[in-house]
């Protein structure tokens, strides 16, 4: 073993001590409609901030226990004005499209991104233990729109800016030891193939599924789970990533409440309260 001057390292502000596992988790929970995603998310530690861009929480949020906060003025379901939407039947010159896309990005930045991130920061500062995004696909789409409008951009600097805006909100929860649950949807995966008759490359839908939304999100979380429902009343979670306990990856577990499930997946935390 190489020699190291511990006194010099400590004087420079370093330590070799490892503290206990923090009671914080950044979680993706993804699944098809009706598989218990929102129900499970609302079992997380309270007080909880529920940030909804989706429909369908009625009948679920009323059953949840503990203190749950929502935005007084309504949720974050953004209505895009008609004049900013893509025009299907109108010939639009490139300069007109760029102008419209710029106006759209400014609108979404002002009407969604700024209030959404500001509410998140205020709730974290006030002491919430958990933040739930329902759903993360919409959050990502609005963040993307707030940078470069409706159309996907080939400019890497704009793509990087959108990625950074999204990651900064995730990072804010992480550095302040607040749980973040990003609820997401699944979609059928598509694969390309060469059509031997036409010689063209075509696409076909497969039986496999993939998560919608920000494709780099799984790299930013400590836990990634997919929900499954088997009638009449069996709800399960499939562990796709578990940073604290890798051997759990690939396991199917009952959709137990947060504290019970985390005792199995993140056993290093003594209490989530």
- CA atoms of 201 and 240, how far apart (whole Å): 31
- β-pair partners for 202: 193
**What average pLDDT does this structure show over 245-271?**
96
Where is average pLDDT lowest: 85-89, 169-173, 239-243, 265-269? 85-89
Tokens for 21, please give them: 């596992």
**What average pLDDT does this structure show over 110-121?**
96
Q: In the prediction, which pLDDT does 255 show?
A: 94
The set of long-range contacts for 236-244, using a CB threshold of 8 Å and a minimum separation of 24, is 237/29, 237/40, 237/261, 239/265, 241/28, 244/21, 244/268
Q: In the prediction, which pLDDT does 74 show?
A: 80
Q: In the prediction, which pLDDT does 117 show?
A: 98
Residues 21 and 268 sit within 8 Å (Cβ to Cβ): yes
- β-pair partners for 230: 234
Where is average pLDDT lowest: 100-104, 180-184, 227-231, 244-248? 100-104
User: What percentage of the chain exceeds 70 in pLDDT?
Assistant: 94
Give the helix ranges, DSSP H, for 207-257.
none
Q: Does domain 22-234 have CATH number 3.40.50?
A: yes
Q: In the prediction, which pLDDT does 213 show?
A: 87
Of residues 25 and 154, which shows the higher confidence score? 25
Q: For residue 27, how many other CB atoms are within 10 A of its CB?
A: 24
Helix (H) / strand (E) element for 194: namely strand 179-194
Q: In the prediction, which pLDDT does 79 show?
A: 86
Prediction pTM value = 0.90
Cβ-Cβ contacts under 8 Å for 8 (sequence gap 6 or more): none
- CA atoms of 47 and 132, how far apart (whole Å): 11
Cα dihedral: 256, 257, 262, 265 (round 10): 20
* Cα angle 233, 272, 140; round to 5: 70
Tokens for 110, please give them: 């002002």
pLDDT tens, position by position, 146-166: 998 876 666 788 889 999 999
pLDDT tens, position by position, 125-134: 999 999 999 9
Tokens for 118, please give them: 């500001």
59 band by pLDDT with thresholds 50, 70 and 90 = low
Where is average pLDDT lowest: 61-70, 137-146, 159-168? 61-70
Most confident region among 2-6, 60-64, 142-146, 203-207 by mean pLDDT: 142-146
3-state secondary structure of 241: strand
């Amino acid at each position: 073993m190489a020699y190291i001057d511990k006194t010099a390292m400590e004087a420079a502000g370093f330590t070799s001590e490892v503290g206990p596992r923090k009671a914080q988790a950044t979680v993706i929970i993804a699944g098809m409609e009706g598989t218990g995603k929102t129900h499970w998310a609302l079992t997380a530690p309270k007080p909880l901030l529920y940030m909804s861009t989706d429909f369908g929480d009625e009948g679920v949020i009323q059953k949840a226990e503990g203190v749950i906060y929502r935005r007084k003025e309504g949720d974050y379901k953004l209505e895009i004005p008609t004049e900013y939407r893509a025009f299907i039947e109108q010939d639009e010159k490139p300069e007109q499209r760029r102008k419209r896309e710029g106006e759209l990005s400014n609108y979404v930045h002002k009407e969604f991104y700024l209030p959404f991130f500001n509410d998140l920061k205020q709730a974290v500062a006030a002491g919430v233990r958990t933040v739930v995004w329902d759903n993360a696909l919409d959050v990502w789409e609005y963040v993307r729109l707030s940078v470069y409008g409706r159309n996907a951009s080939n400019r890497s600097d704009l793509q990087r800016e959108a990625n950074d805006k999204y990651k900064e909100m995730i990072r804010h929860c992480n550095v302040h030891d607040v749980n973040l649950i990003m609820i997401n949807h699944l979609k059928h995966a598509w694969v390309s193939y060469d059509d031997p008759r036409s010689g063209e490359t075509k696409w076909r839908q497969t039986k496999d599924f993939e998560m919608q939304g920000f494709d780099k999100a799984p790299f930013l979380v400590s836990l990634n789970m997919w929900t499954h429902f088997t009638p009449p009343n069996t709800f399960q979670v499939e562990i796709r990533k578990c940073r604290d306990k890798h051997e759990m990856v690939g396991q199917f577990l009952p959709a137990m409440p947060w504290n019970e499930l985390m005792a199995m997946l993140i056993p290093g935390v003594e209490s989530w309260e």
